[in-house]
Every structure is written in structure tokens, then in C-alpha cells.
């Protein structure tokens, strides 16, 4: 009788060990299937900074002018057009950052933008670090502020300051506004990334 109870207990322990081992194997298989951006797609997002200025006392001197948009984007059809010869390949591309600067008023005038390829994460461009991308969201850090941005949404931060310039003709007081914005356009097809 004791042998029978021992045999049943041993069989039960072996069965339990086999079940736990199989469950562990299944869990490992599920964990190893991490999501990746499909090979024929890439994530596209834009980071722009708008610098505006207005003289609230005195006469401001002429400011610098910038020109040179190097790309355009059509959200309707997902087409991204670069006006420059290709400086990067599409094969290992996982994302493209559209980086732009706009100057207005006493800060200057004009628009400049450029496309920056991203082949791995994390990726840092000046003040912004891209930490993660999914089909539906973008995770970034902008000067210590962590943000998760959903596809199609815009994140914006506005900072204002007052600056005094000491010039030969007297002081000029300028009200400055700096607006940073990030827009996540989601995943786009690589065949709609066009170099003109």
C-alpha cells in the first residue's frame, strides 16, 4: 500500500514538473516575439521649433533670415518628398525625423527643415531623444520631460521671456516666445518616401 501511495505521489510530481516546464517554454516563446516595424514601413514624426519676437520698447535691429525647406509631407496620402539627393538608404530605416526651425518678428524670418534618418533606438537629435516607437505611439524625452504621443496627435510647449538689448541708440526690450511641437504621423510605406 505504501509503495502504491509513493508511486502515485512520484507520478503526480513528475506530471507537475512537466506541466511547469512546458508552461515556461510557452511563456519564453511568447516573450521572444517582440514587435518590430515592418520592413516595408517606417515611422515619421516632426519636431519643430518656432521662435517669435516682438519689440515692446525701442526699435529692434534687423534679424537674420533663414530659408530652405528641404521636404514636404502630405498627410492625406502619406507621401514624404525630399528635395535633396538621397543621403540615406531605406533598407535599414526604422524612422524619419522631420526637424524644422521657423523664425518670425524680431527673431528673424523664414523656415528651414530637413529629414534625419533613424536606424536604431534610442536616438538623440539636439534636445529630443526618441526612446520607443510602436504603430500607435511615440515615446520621447525633450529636455527631461518624458512624453508618450499617440498617432496623429501633437504635443506643444510654449515658453515666454523678456530680453533687453543694449544698443548704441538705446535699449530695446523684446518679448520672445519659443514654441516646441512634436507631431507623430504613424507608420508610412517606404515606397512613398520619394527623393526628387
Mean of the per-residue pLDDT values of the chain: 85
pLDDT at 2 exceeding the cut of 90: no
pLDDT value, residue 29: 44
Same domain, 2 and 49: no
User: What are the counts of helices (DSSP H) followed by strands (DSSP E) for the chain?
Assistant: 1, 13
The verdict on 161 and 66 lying in the same domain is yes
Q: Are 143 and 159 in contact (CB under 8 A)?
A: no
The reply to whether 13 and 62 lie within a common domain is: no
Same domain, 164 and 122: yes
Number of independent structural domains in the chain: 2
Which pLDDT score is estimated for 148?
97
What would the mean pLDDT of 138-151 be, rounded to a whole number? 95
pLDDT of residue 62: 87
Instruction: Pick 68 or 99 by higher pLDDT.
Output: 99
> What pLDDT does residue 33 have?
60
Overall average pLDDT of the 17-43 stretch: 61
**pLDDT tops 90 at residue 139:** yes
Q: What percent of the chain has pLDDT over 70?
A: 83
**Range(s) of the domain holding residue 89:** 41-195
| pLDDT of residue 31 exceeding 80 | no
Q: What is the pLDDT of residues 151-175, one digit of tens each?
A: 999 999 999 999 998 888 889 999 9
The dihedrals phi and psi of 192, each to the nearest 5 degrees, come to -100, 10
Confirm if 70 and 82 have CB atoms less than 8 A apart.
Answer: yes
62-66, 102-106, 149-153: which has the minimum mean pLDDT? Answer: 62-66
Tell me: do 17 and 106 sit in the same domain: no
Are residues 27 and 45 both part of a single domain? no
**Weakest-pLDDT range from 10-14, 145-149, 176-180:** 10-14
Centroid of chain to Cα 96: 8
What local confidence, expressed as pLDDT, does residue 152 receive? Answer: 95
pLDDT at position 86, please?
A: 77
My answer on whether 27 and 58 are in the same domain is: no
CB 164 within 8 A of CB 172: yes
Residues 123-145: what's their mean pLDDT? 95
Amino acid at each position: 500500500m505504501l509503495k502504491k501511495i509513493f508511486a502515485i505521489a512520484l507520478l503526480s510530481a513528475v506530471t507537475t514538473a512537466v506541466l511547469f516546464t512546458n508552461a515556461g517554454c510557452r511563456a519564453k516563446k511568447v516573450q521572444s516575439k517582440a514587435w518590430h516595424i515592418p520592413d516595408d514601413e517606417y515611422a515619421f514624426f516632426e519636431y519643430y521649433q518656432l521662435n517669435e519676437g516682438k519689440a515692446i520698447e525701442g526699435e529692434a535691429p534687423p534679424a537674420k533670415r533663414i530659408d530652405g525647406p528641404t521636404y514636404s509631407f502630405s498627410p492625406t496620402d502619406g507621401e514624404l518628398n525630399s528635395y535633396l539627393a538621397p543621403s540615406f538608404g531605406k533598407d535599414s530605416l526604422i524612422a524619419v525625423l522631420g526637424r524644422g526651425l521657423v523664425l518670425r518678428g524680431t527673431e528673424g524670418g523664414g523656415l528651414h527643415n530637413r529629414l534625419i534618418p533613424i536606424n536604431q533606438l534610442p536616438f538623440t537629435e539636439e534636445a529630443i531623444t526618441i526612446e520607443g516607437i510602436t504603430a500607435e505611439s511615440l515615446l520621447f524625452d525633450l529636455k527631461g520631460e518624458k512624453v508618450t504621443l499617440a498617432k496623429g496627435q501633437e504635443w506643444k510647449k510654449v515658453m515666454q521671456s523678456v530680453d533687453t538689448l543694449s544698443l548704441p541708440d538705446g535699449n530695446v526690450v523684446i518679448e520672445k516666445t519659443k514654441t516646441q511641437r512634436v507631431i507623430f504621423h504613424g507608420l508610412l510605406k517606404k515606397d512613398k518616401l520619394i527623393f526628387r
